[in-house]
Chains A and B, each alone.
Chain A
Amino acid sequence: MRERGDMDTGLYRTMRLIRRFEERAIELVHAGEIIGGIHPYIGQEAIAAGVCAALRDDDVITSTHRGHGHVLAKGADPVRMLAELTGRATGLNQGRGGSMHAADFGKGIYGANGIVGAGGAIATGAAWAAVKEGSDRVAVSFFGDGAVNQGVLLETFNLAALWRLPVLFVCENNGYATTLTVAQAVAGSITARAEAFGIPAVSVDGTDAVAVLTAARDAVARGRAGGGPSFLEATAYRFDAHHTWEHKARVRYRADEEVAAGRSRDPLDVLGVGLPEGVRAELDAQVEATLAEAVAFALDSPRPDPARALDHLYATGLRGRDGTGLLDTAVR
């Protein structure tokens, strides 16, 4: 009982952190403090929270354009994450990556990614390296329903299955790839694609963090024990826009009733109703304090020096020629 209580509290705290992080980030987008906008993860929090609760610090994840939830759930510091989104030198990526590339290699977070479907093969390669090293680390690749139509992901399923690699493919089915529905885009079923390669695949309710965690634990245990890859389809609804540009664009592709119905099953409530009232309020307050600190830290942090814009372009420190005359090309 006690253990179940701790687990629920942990999952709720992570989901609440993601939810409020996204809401604060949206405010900062509207205020012009985050340029380029974001792809909000609101509504899908139970998936990142549930899967990452099954992982160790040294396990690896690859994420997507809608990546904040995964990065936070895997343990990145929300304070430095927000500094990254606001383009500060103190950010996780020193302001070089922003929302779509946030990464923290110390926590096994190989990064959000701007290209749909790109993370699957990267995670699988990391899983291969773990095996070669004799470690029981696993890798998880998160991707959307849109990604299952990328050739590279299907090629990856084959490699992972063929070489029995400890990788978990997590498909977050939120019903849409931008404006295109799954019904318009996917022939057959999503899980059948993995099954065709002999990869065990299950579907779970992606608004139920405990259900997600339970399924992820099975898959991770199989991977650690040498049982090869697994596939998890988690269904949920994206509460907000595909990307914040939609807040001022006139595109319409979801009926109001559909959005209302989707939002009525809120993953935070699915778990939260079971928590004692005082506990939930206290967790909320803790998250609020963390985010207040994050916003203040981000906005007070220095901006990066433009003359160092191409620092880190090469791991070896190689410097190419400047093009504009604005860069400091000294090697440091």
Chain B
Amino acid sequence: MARLSYLKALQRALADEMARDDSVCVLGEDIGVGVNNVTTGLLAKHGPARVVDTPLSEQAFTSFATGAALAGLRPVIEFQIPSLLFLVFEQIANQAHKFSLMTGGQAKVPVTYFVPGSGSRSGWAGQHSDHPYGLFAHVGVKTVVPATPEDAYGLFLTAIRDDDPVVLFAPAGALGVRGDVDLDALGPVPLGVGRVHRAGTDVTVVAVGHLVQAALGVAEQLADQFSVEVFDPRSLYPFDWDGLAASVAKTGRLVVVDDSNRMCGIAGEILATAAEQMRLTVPPKRVTRPDGAVLPFARELDLAVQPQQDQLLTAVQEVCKSSR
């Protein structure tokens, strides 16, 4: 067993895939120096033909990667900040994502987009703190949000190997998470398969990304009163509906915690599907950012619009105590 951090796991996944497959190349800003510590060492190892420091031309290099992918490469793009995904939404949602269907299956676009440090990094304010994973799930781009080092490794690997575009969000709040892992056992993690981090029988808590740690904290805090099952979907699209159904069949109660905006967010989709297709014994709850949230700068304001462990605790207690 070795201690592996989430960030190191991302680094290792990319390094391993580049060593294994010559068609994998990486593009992005300041990746040669490796300011985000994911691409560290890759330029020295693979050279500038595979590790490409780009000018600040995100729209161009995102579709450039699409073209390279159509021509047989497997590009990975690092975006320094989550909001750059708004800038390249056309290139991903309207170009890369649509090629396969529009060409009648002639084309595939195996590009991976990843953001090391999505969501709030406290103090980075309105334009650097978004968590737009629901937007990509909504348009149908494969979307993954790993919560642990081994899942970061495994999902990054899978994303790179997948023949469709995949967006990987690595929440800032998860980058420092460490785990004891068997390095030899690290391997790809399939898309659309959730993970139960802690089994329970009274309530299912679905937690996305860094909030898995908060959910595990709540489960521990409430351990003498309620038995909390913590379900981590790992990939938001495709979503492991069967896994969730199995959990809810046991517990009959559901709380979702999701660090993105409430309106049309992934938490709403999870509650809706559960209400339609699963047997809930009491009304479910979600803890999210508010509608339309723009993260304000000051620390206390920034924290007030992000779901925290305390609010999850309250929601779980309410759901557990309510009766039909």
Binding site for B on A (CB under 8 A): 34-37, 84, 87-88, 93, 95-101, 113-117, 146-147, 149-151, 177-180, 184-186, 249, 251-253, 303-304, 306-310, 313-314, 320-327
A149–B57 CB distance below 8 A: yes
Residues of chain B contacted by A100 (CB below 8 angstroms): 124-125, 127-128
B294–A97 CB distance below 8 A: no
16 residue pairs bridging A and B, Cβ less than 8 Å apart: A95-B298, A113-B127, A114-B125, A115-B127, A177-B55, A179-B53, A251-B33, A303-B300, A304-B300, A306-B300, A306-B304, A310-B290, A321-B291, A323-B262, A323-B290, A327-B290
Is the C-beta of B296 less than 8 angstroms from some C-beta in chain A?
A: yes
Residues of chain B contacted by A150 (CB below 8 angstroms): 56-57
Q: How far, in whole Å, are A100 and B288 apart by their CA atoms in the complex?
A: 25
Interface residues of B in 75-95 (CB under 8 A from A): 81, 83, 87
B126–A35 CB distance below 8 A: no
Residue count of chain B within 8 Å CB distance of chain A: 50
Residue among B56, B60, B87, B290 making CB contact with A322, cutoff 8 Å: B290
Q: Contacts A36-B125, A100-B128, A310-B290 hold; do A251 and B296 have CB atoms under 8 A apart?
A: no
B301–A306 CB distance below 8 A: yes
Residues of chain A contacted by B127 (CB below 8 angstroms): 100-101, 113-115
B125–A310 CB distance below 8 A: no
Chain B residue nearest in CB terms to A176: B30
B298–A304 CB distance below 8 A: yes
B126–A306 CB distance below 8 A: no
Stretch at the interface among B14-22, B217-225, B245-253, B305-313: B305-313
Is the C-beta of B293 less than 8 angstroms from some C-beta in chain A?
A: yes
Residues of chain A contacted by B297 (CB below 8 angstroms): 36, 84, 87, 93, 95-98, 101
Residues of chain B contacted by A320 (CB below 8 angstroms): 262-263, 290-292
B290–A324 CB distance below 8 A: yes
B262–A303 CB distance below 8 A: no
Residue among A251, A303, A324 making CB contact with B308, cutoff 8 Å: A324
Residues of chain A contacted by B121 (CB below 8 angstroms): 36
Is the C-beta of B45 less than 8 angstroms from some C-beta in chain A?
A: no
A115–B87 CB distance below 8 A: yes
Chain B residue nearest in CB terms to A86: B298
Chain A residue nearest in CB terms to B48: A184
Q: How far is the CB of B171 from chain A (nearest CB, A)?
A: 16
Q: How far is the CB of A208 from chain B (nearest CB, A)?
A: 27
B301–A95 CB distance below 8 A: yes
Residues of chain B contacted by A84 (CB below 8 angstroms): 297
Is the C-beta of B66 less than 8 angstroms from some C-beta in chain A?
A: no
Other A-B pairs, 4, CB within 8 Å; known A88-B298, A304-B296, A324-B288: A35-B122, A101-B127, A306-B300, A322-B290
